[in-house]
Chain A
Amino acid sequence: MSASARLDAITAVTQERRPARAVPLVAVGRVLIVLALLLFWQVASDRLAAQLWVSDPADIAVRLWRWTIDGTLGLHLLATIEAWGAGYVTGGLCGIAVGFLLGIARFADRVLSLFIAALYGLPKLALLPLFVIGFGIGLQSKIALVATVIFFITLYSTRDGVRDVDPDLIASLRIMGASRSEILSKLLLPATLPWILTAMRISVSITLVTTVGGEVLSSNRGLGFLIASSSARFDTTGVFAAATVLVAISAVVNALLTGREAGASRWRG
């Protein structure tokens, strides 16, 4: 279809009616809304609600600055990233490997699928006490938790990807004389790659939430620990400061993964 034929399509209508000149205004409006919200928070604190419970933006900024200077932030941020990254890589790789095997060995998959679905249905954070008893309160228990979460996501996605490969393609490669390993490397792996990448992408934010959630429940370091320990001291400013860092990481990661503004359309699937 030529470009001009597409012009004729009714779809052009809506694009057309979106006034182009409004764009800078929208940007200004957005900034104003954010500033207004922050200002409202600042002013309302201690007037509409006690500062003890809601803190205020200025206090939070000061706290963040102090934490940055005295190294608190660095220490906890690093711990979170370490647990997050290690769990992500190990769990992701295991999930891909098992998913691949199950995708190829369909009968085994049918037998095992019930057990996998049962484990998948379990809210993974509930496994934390078990991991803490097994691995201690430090990084390892969080790594195990994160690895469990991503394991199932990549497993399912990889398995579905392998299954999705057209059997005719496999047959035609066989006829060409391809060996098993050649079929694997020349067909199954590249065909499954997009599925794996999607799963890895979806998992980034889910595993971040899991890491911090695990740290909130039981840990001695990390952003989640910072949130939990601040709240235990009724230090709302500390909770918000740590949460701000978390939201910032999460926003950056989401923006990198989904491209500009596509965020709302691909929530953790």
Chain B
Amino acid sequence: MAMSAAPPRRGERRLLVVVLRLALAGVILAGWEAYGRLVDSSLTSTPSDIAAVLAGWARSVLWLNLGVTLFEIAAGLVLGVPAGIVAGLFLGRARVAGALLRPIVVLFYSVPFIALTPLLIMWFGVGSASKVMLIALSSFFLLFFNTFAGAQEVDPDLVAMADIMGASRRERFVKVIAPACAPRILSGLKTALPFALIGAVIGEMLAARAGLGNLLMDSGNDFDMAGLYAALAVLMVVGVVMNALAQRLETWLLRWRP
């Protein structure tokens, strides 16, 4: 296609945004580097040192620690998420049990599981098991609360309609109730993902033999600022990727919404 004489303004602006972003990143890094070298690097380290640490890690400890953290997150979510959805669906639809258990559900909603990490480490040890349990518990309850609320809010008209059309109990569940809870389930999932990362990291910071949190805490304890920032950089990437994945998943699964 031929270049048009006057390119659209929007494209021009987009390019400008990219250029400005790059420039800003450059200025920040340069300022940081200059401050560290010329004034004081005891707290801020310098981008070049951090990069050096990252490069060193990339050839050694990074992958193991990253793998451990990702494994803990994945295992915890696999244990917690499906169980939470199923429990929420069933209890949310069981009228009597739902009414009876509601206050307990609300109470558990108030339990800050992250604060109970020491207890879990006491129970399940310093290894990955305690982190997996922490993530499983918090993701279970997050999904449970959301699905429970969703299941109780399903439009009764839709359920009545399915009944009249002759849907069996199973069909009513699979075709009406579960999909009607999808928005709630997804908002639970979107909260559970960052919580899982936080859970893994806090567990590893508190007591662990491996993992990104452990890497972070070791660097902090050694006052190794470059290591500390390097670990933070890795965590930032993991966090951003997880948020983006959750966003993608939601947009795709809820494409029917206006």
Q: Would A and B touch once assembled, by the CB under 8 A criterion?
A: yes
Chain A residue numbers with a CB within 8 Å of B13 are 107
CA distance A111 to B13 in the complex (A): 11
CA distance A127 to B99 in the complex (A): 41
Chain A residue numbers with a CB within 8 Å of B24 are 111-112, 115
Q: B226 at the A/B interface (Cβ < 8 Å)?
A: no
CA distance A161 to B78 in the complex (A): 36
Q: Which residue of A lies closest to B102 (CB)?
A: A261
Asked whether A227 lies within 8 Å of B116 as measured between CB atoms, the reply is yes
Asked whether B191 lies within 8 Å of A268 as measured between CB atoms, the reply is yes
Asked whether A130 lies within 8 Å of B228 as measured between CB atoms, the reply is yes
A233 to chain B minimum Cβ distance, whole angstroms, is 10
Asked whether A239 lies within 8 Å of B220 as measured between CB atoms, the reply is no
Could you tell me which B residues sit within 8 Å of A by CB distance? 13, 17, 20-21, 24-25, 43, 99-107, 109-112, 114-119, 121-123, 142, 145-146, 148-149, 153, 156-157, 160, 187-188, 191, 194, 197-198, 201-202, 205-206, 213, 216-217, 219-221, 223, 225, 228, 231-232, 235-237, 239-243
Asked whether A126 lies within 8 Å of B119 as measured between CB atoms, the reply is no
Could you tell me which A residues sit within 8 Å of B by CB distance? 10-11, 13-14, 22, 26, 29-30, 33-34, 37, 53, 107, 110-112, 114-115, 117-130, 132-134, 205, 208-209, 212-213, 216-217, 223-224, 227-228, 230-232, 234, 236, 239-240, 243, 246-247, 250-251, 254, 261, 263-265, 267-269
Asked whether B232 lies within 8 Å of A126 as measured between CB atoms, the reply is yes
Asked whether A236 lies within 8 Å of B119 as measured between CB atoms, the reply is yes
The listed residue with most B CB atoms (<10 A of its CB), out of A212, A224, A247, is: A247
A45 to chain B minimum Cβ distance, whole angstroms, is 14
Asked whether B197 lies within 8 Å of A123 as measured between CB atoms, the reply is yes
Asked whether A111 lies within 8 Å of B17 as measured between CB atoms, the reply is yes
Given A114-B21, A123-B194, A134-B43, decide whether A263 and B99 contact each other with a Cβ distance below 8 A: no
CA distance A212 to B119 in the complex (A): 14
The listed residue with most B CB atoms (<10 A of its CB), out of A112, A122, A243, is: A122
Q: Which residue of A lies closest to B244 (CB)?
A: A121
Task: Report whether over half of chain A's contact residues are helix, strand or loop; otherwise say mixed.
Answer: helix
Q: Which residue of A lies closest to B202 (CB)?
A: A125
Asked whether B107 lies within 8 Å of A251 as measured between CB atoms, the reply is yes
Q: Which residue of B lies closest to A267 (CB)?
A: B145
The listed residue with most B CB atoms (<10 A of its CB), out of A119, A205, A217, A264, is: A264
Q: Which residue of A lies closest to B100 (CB)?
A: A29
Chain A residue numbers with a CB within 8 Å of B103 are 30, 34
Given A53-B122, A264-B145, decide whether A125 and B205 contact each other with a Cβ distance below 8 A: yes
CA distance A235 to B240 in the complex (A): 38
Q: Which residue of B lies closest to A248 (CB)?
A: B110
CA distance A213 to B198 in the complex (A): 10
